[in-house]
Structure 1
Amino acid sequence: MSSVDIFKICLTVAFICKNYAVNSEEYSPVVTIPDGSVRGIVNQTVSENVTYYAYRGIPYAQPPIGDLRFASPVENDAWTDVLNATSEPSQCTQISDSEVVGSEDCLYINVYTTNLNSSLPVMVYIYGGAFVSGSTNSSGTPDYLLEKDIVFVIFNYRLGVFGFLSTEDTALPGNLGIKDQILALKWVQNNIEYFGGDPDKVTIFGESAGAASVSYILTNSNTSDLYQNAIMQSGTVLCLWTLARNASVKAFKLGTSLGIITDNSTYLVEQLREVDYKELKSAENTLTTLIEAAGGIVAGLPFAVVIEPDIDGAIVTGRSYEKLLNGDYNTVPVIVGFNSFEMENITNTFLVNIIASQFEVELWRLAPYDLTSSFLYRTSAGTIVRNYFFGILPIAVQSEAIANFATVDQFDRPIRETVDLMSQHNDVYYYEFSYAGNLGSPNRTDAGVAHAEDVNYIFVTSNDEYATDEDQLTRQRIITLWTNFAKTGDPTSSDPLNVLQNITWTPNNSETNTSSAVNYLDINSTLSMGTNPKQTGWEFYLNEIYSVYGDSSYYTTY
């Protein structure tokens, strides 16, 4: 036998051995939970090559189809065979590149763990996407969290009309997407120990609509046993965009667009259940565009959270402002913050120009929607807002000013108000994320950190290929802060990698005076403590708008 033949044989044996090893290690250990047994896959983290087990696509609710469309989620039935939880589940129905994608059968949960025989802290992430988009894999993978000995959980929840349509009565009270989230958190309580997680050490966190969801869950007293800490990145219950007003009007308009002519909400819901899901989603998309083009976006996202009638099963009732003011919520430690220029990416698109032109002739729309029911006061306040942000030039030609207005009005101001109110009852760690790195946006053209850039520092994403050493340092800082918080309730309790610069993140609480100075951590190329971020815009709205024109009894979010 020649040396060439021997070499070929060795290569063949090596190939067989390699493939045998890959195949034998392809599946994770089978985990048995109350519903049945599940099999996941084995993988390694991208940075430290830590082995972890990923169980993707475990059902936590029955498919919300047929009679369960527009119904509260129902716990999943048990199964008998081993469930292959080895791939991403279908995303919930949404629009992508002008096409309807996903499925109504989408209520699945993913669990990632490095140790099945431990009792590790658990972080449950609720993705953002304006309540109309997002999925279990839309944010990236949780490698960096797993390297900190965290069990990570993410799940799908219903979006758009499927999750947030409401007739504002018993026919369809609304908030089905939030109810999905709460059922998923109950699933975590009942099952996470089988994956090496501690059900008594759960942190819920989210970004944008996910952060707002976390905030609404906090205001529901029946969820107090489902988590111990919460993180809200760029969204709270006081952000005006989170609450849909006049939801029943939109529901009937949706029906009319589909040929369902009625003034009976029960009949409307029954007929909408019969509509093909793609046709229904397309009709929602068309209606949303019409609402936004008419300037209705200032009244909240068209399909979002609603205030439900106070009936059995309702999860959002009463006014969020009063709940925060009175401590009528789950007063767990929280991290709350925003990016330095949230709406930086607003551009002079055709739709934005239409909306801006609408604001020129209807100045009352520029006043915060929750300000007052008085048209005269709203017009006066809107005039002042117009002059403050836009001066004498046409609004439509000032893209940066539009972005600044939207940032202050929809994010900076209400998040600051949330901190002020909550800090009277619990520890509130407040931050501004101002590090403008390649991980956030590799093709940056403007200063400031836009909405959702922070997510790329928590998860592995396609932007990782552009990451600089400074980006990776910032990532390690955020990961350390967030996971410390999940473990101890104190984000600067530990610093094994020496990335936190000996900083102590001082919380706001009942012992601090937020009326004069609000503590916050500036997360930039360095970490630094400061007070009163975005103070100028805050004082403008406080002193010139709300104090002069505000009606504290008005019915909306506040």
Structure 2
Amino acid sequence: MIFMWYSYALYFIATYKLRTILANPLRVQIDCGVVEGRQLKDSLYAWSGIPFAKPPVGDLRFEAPQPPDNWEGVLDARWERSKCMQTEQYFLPESQSIGDEDCLYINVYTSQPPSSNATLLPVMVWIYGGGFAVGDGNYATYGPDQLVSVGDGNYATYGPDQLVSENVIVVTFNYRLGIFGFAFTADNVAPGNLGLKDQIFALQWVQRNIETFGGDKNLVTVFGQSAGAVSVSYLVVSPLGKDLFHHAIMQSGNSICVWGLSKIARKATFKAGQLLGIFTINSRYLIDQLKTVPAAKLQSAAVSVTNAFLFLDPINSLVFAPVIEPADTTDAVITTSTYECLRLGYFNRVPLLMGHNSFEAVSMEYIIKQWCFYLLQSDIFPSLLVPDSMNANAIGKLLAGPQIKFHYADILGSIIFPDENFLRYLNDNEFVRPVQKMARFTCRYTPTYFYKFSYTHDPTALGAGHAEELFYLFNSPFNNPNDMIISNRLVKLWTNFAKTGNPTPLDDPILDSCTWPKVMPAALNYIDIDNDLTIKQNPNAQDMDFWDNLFSAYANPPLFTY
């Protein structure tokens, strides 16, 4: 009897304590404990820096993500945590290492405090780009409002508050980058794709916890740009992505981009070891030794290796990036060609929205300056212009190379003078061709919507460059009323898709009352997002016909990218 009353007393005390803790509406009970968020402004609330995995440090470096430990009391989720290890400036050898290995944290943004009576809202999970080498999902990058001060008084550039204002919940998170996220030994010691496995772990966290923030776990849209779009594409194809999301948006990238699959990650991983004095062909010894190297020192070695490989070939592959894992890998993200999976319909058949900007490569002029030696060689030896995607033999490269050169060259016959010639080639080779190819594959199996983002506030620009649409999708300072109109339209299209799987479900004057048609096998229908919204067919048709004919003539299956 005494024991029974003692048990009741303990239960009462624990219940009272929990109710007291949760009396604050910004305190939320999740699977590992209670978190406290903050109100950033009217109709904008944030819970930041919530661990979704154990810190991947020490023995957990180069290991798959592990569940986080529970905590007692209230976790302060009012501030973001460190970004993952990276360099301050993209691929510059003199750049300082920044970030921390302890970086696997997730952030949730809502328009209202959680309420048991509220209707559950659609959820949009953002995956950042940055070549699998830089980037983060933190406040100062995607933070809720450029008018909200951060730490020392700096201001965020753009954030999800416009998306949130359309009654969706936005989730961002960090995933491991560079050698920390994509070390690869081509066996079960380091089977690769840890960064992608972090993403899957974050999506599993969303499934377990988002309802406590007012989100609908059965209405999750995953969206990303550049390497983030490549990541989304792998999640669409991977069996591990099944049931973790219900719509997917891919902006300027996918898994069949030539740079979306690393062919040199194993070689680069061993080369990084050599730079650090680890000379071995034994995978286990290499990884065990690399686990003992200070993070900043390992990051510096990996950047040196990356730059060395990209100097030799800046076109065909990133270095530390997704790979095809060994077939016997436990919980592998992907073990076969995603090109074939998409072609044959072996993927998670959720509604898809994808597209590219009108001149992606105009933002990549740094390549011409940084790797001019390779470009000069390609003008003399045009077989270098033949993408690895084609898997062409030596004779095929000799025949295809000159055709590529003269397709993009001007009357002087050079593909690099002026710069615009090579940028046109880069635009088609790196982005337009593979993005359109995926749409032509997936439209046979699932609703697929395609866009071309052409708007630029600078009338002298050659077109909308890589990542330019992000300034309109997220909250940015706008230069003129037109910018605001474009932003409102883009946000409306994306959130409509997140809510319904259709970007134009209703007649809407904000969207010029347009109806966005699906891609069809016989016609790549798309919406051109410019000063007006215009429905068109078959973007970049002449260039795409050229590449399709070239692949038909010289490509050798199996293909892994396009």
So what's the TM-score if we normalise by structure 1? 0.89
Q: Residue 513 of structure 1: which of 517, 521, 530 is its match?
A: 521
Q: CA deviation at 1:495?
A: 5.6
Q: Secondary structure at the match of 2:56?
A: coil
| Distance in 1 separating the partners of 2:304 and 2:418 | 27
Q: CA deviation at 1:28?
A: 6.1
* Matched AA of 1:84: D
Q: Residue 352 of structure 1: which of 371, 379, 383 is its match?
A: 371
- Pick closer, same or farther for the CA change 1:372–1:29 going to 2, 3 Å: closer
* Matched AA of 2:486: T
Matched, 1:499 2:541: no
Q: Residue 484 of structure 2: which of 447, 472, 479 is its match?
A: 472
* Matched AA of 2:561: T
Q: Which residue does the alignment assign to 1:307?
A: 324
Matches within 5 A, 1:253-264: 253-264=271-282
Q: CA deviation at 1:254?
A: 1.2
Q: Which residue does the alignment assign to 2:11?
A: none
Q: Which residue does the alignment assign to 2:293?
A: 275
Matches within 5 A, 1:374-523: 374-391=393-410, 392-437=412-457, 445-461=460-476, 464=477, 466-494=478-506, 498-508=509-519, 512-514=520-522, 517-523=523-529
Q: Which residue does the alignment assign to 1:23?
A: none
Q: Secondary structure at the match of 2:383?
A: helix
Q: Secondary structure at the match of 2:361?
A: coil
**Bigger Cα displacement from structure 2, 365-374 vs 450-459:** 365-374
| Distance in 2 separating the partners of 1:152 and 1:205 | 10
* Unmatched runs of 5 consecutive residues or more in structure 2: 1-23, 90-94, 143-157
| Distance in 2 separating the partners of 1:29 and 1:314 | 37
Q: Which residue does the alignment assign to 2:344?
A: 326
* Matched AA of 2:323: V
* Matched AA of 1:146: V
Q: CA deviation at 1:381?
A: 1.2
Q: Which residue does the alignment assign to 2:315?
A: 298
Residue pair 1:28, 1:53 contacting (<8 A) in 2 also: no
Matched, 1:29 2:5: no
Q: CA deviation at 1:362?
A: 4.0
Residue pair 1:38, 1:83 contacting (<8 A) in 2 also: yes
Task: After superposition, give the CA deviation of every residue in 1:249-302 in whole Å (9 maximum; x if it has no partner).
Answer: 11111111111100111111111111111111111111111111112x333111
Q: Secondary structure at the match of 2:437?
A: helix
| Distance in 2 separating the partners of 1:453 and 1:169 | 39
Matched, 1:531 2:537: yes
Q: Residue 197 of structure 2: which of 173, 179, 182 is its match?
A: 179
Q: Which residue does the alignment assign to 1:208?
A: 226
Residue pair 2:444, 2:521 contacting (<8 A) in 1 also: no
**Bigger Cα displacement from structure 2, 447-456 vs 247-256:** 247-256
* Matched AA of 2:257: C
Q: Secondary structure at the match of 1:370?
A: helix
Q: Which residue does the alignment assign to 1:553?
A: 558
| Distance in 1 separating the partners of 2:542 and 2:392 | 26
| Distance in 2 separating the partners of 1:378 and 1:254 | 31
| Distance in 1 separating the partners of 2:447 and 2:188 | 37
| Distance in 2 separating the partners of 1:114 and 1:170 | 44
**Bigger Cα displacement from structure 2, 191-200 vs 376-385:** 376-385
Matched, 1:169 2:187: yes
* Unmatched runs of 5 consecutive residues or more in structure 1: 1-26, 45-49, 439-443
Q: Residue 230 of structure 1: which of 245, 248, 261 is its match?
A: 248
- Pick closer, same or farther for the CA change 1:467–1:216 going to 2, 3 Å: same
Q: CA deviation at 1:396?
A: 4.0
* Matched AA of 2:518: P
Task: After superposition, give the CA deviation of every residue in 1:178-204 in whole Å (9 maximum; x if it has no partner).
Answer: 000000000000000000000000000
Q: Which residue does the alignment assign to 2:5?
A: none
* Matched AA of 1:526: D
| Distance in 1 separating the partners of 2:121 and 2:484 | 25
Q: Secondary structure at the match of 1:298?
A: coil
Matched, 1:79 2:79: no
Q: Secondary structure at the match of 2:218?
A: strand
| Distance in 2 separating the partners of 1:267 and 1:333 | 44
Residue pair 2:385, 2:404 contacting (<8 A) in 1 also: yes
| Distance in 1 separating the partners of 2:325 and 2:447 | 29
Q: CA deviation at 1:513?
A: 3.2
Q: CA deviation at 1:393?
A: 4.2
| Distance in 1 separating the partners of 2:214 and 2:461 | 44
| Distance in 2 separating the partners of 1:358 and 1:87 | 49
Q: CA deviation at 1:160?
A: 0.5
Q: Which residue does the alignment assign to 1:5?
A: none
Q: Secondary structure at the match of 1:346?
A: helix
The percent identity for this pair of structures is: 40
* Matched AA of 1:291: F
Residue pair 2:440, 2:521 contacting (<8 A) in 1 also: no
Q: CA deviation at 1:361?
A: 4.4
* Matched AA of 1:83: L
So what's the TM-score if we normalise by structure 2? 0.88
| Distance in 2 separating the partners of 1:133 and 1:531 | 35
| Distance in 1 separating the partners of 2:363 and 2:216 | 39
| Distance in 1 separating the partners of 2:224 and 2:495 | 14
Q: CA deviation at 1:403?
A: 1.0
* Matched AA of 1:33: I
Q: CA deviation at 1:395?
A: 4.0
Aligned-residue CA RMSD (Å) = 1.6
| Distance in 2 separating the partners of 1:238 and 1:161 | 21
* Matched AA of 1:86: R
Q: CA deviation at 1:164?
A: 1.0
* Matched AA of 2:524: V
Q: Which residue does the alignment assign to 2:97?
A: 100
Q: Which residue does the alignment assign to 2:56?
A: 64
Task: After superposition, give the CA deviation of every residue in 1:403-436 in whole Å (9 maximum; x if it has no partner).
Answer: 1111001111111100100001001000100011
Residue pair 1:109, 1:154 contacting (<8 A) in 2 also: yes
| Distance in 2 separating the partners of 1:360 and 1:95 | 32
Q: Secondary structure at the match of 1:453?
A: coil
Q: Which residue does the alignment assign to 1:246?
A: 264
Q: Secondary structure at the match of 1:335?
A: strand
Q: Which residue does the alignment assign to 1:20?
A: none
Q: Secondary structure at the match of 1:204?
A: strand
Q: Secondary structure at the match of 2:498?
A: helix
Q: CA deviation at 1:170?
A: 0.9
Matched, 1:125 2:140: no
Q: Secondary structure at the match of 1:200?
A: strand
Q: Which residue does the alignment assign to 1:16?
A: none
Residue pair 2:443, 2:521 contacting (<8 A) in 1 also: no
| Distance in 2 separating the partners of 1:259 and 1:430 | 49
Residue pair 2:406, 2:413 contacting (<8 A) in 1 also: no
Residue pair 1:244, 1:302 contacting (<8 A) in 2 also: yes
Task: After superposition, give the CA deviation of every residue in 1:137-178 in whole Å (9 maximum; x if it has no partner).
Answer: 324311101110111100000001101111111110000000
| Distance in 1 separating the partners of 2:222 and 2:57 | 28
| Distance in 1 separating the partners of 2:273 and 2:53 | 27
**Bigger Cα displacement from structure 2, 257-266 vs 348-357:** 348-357
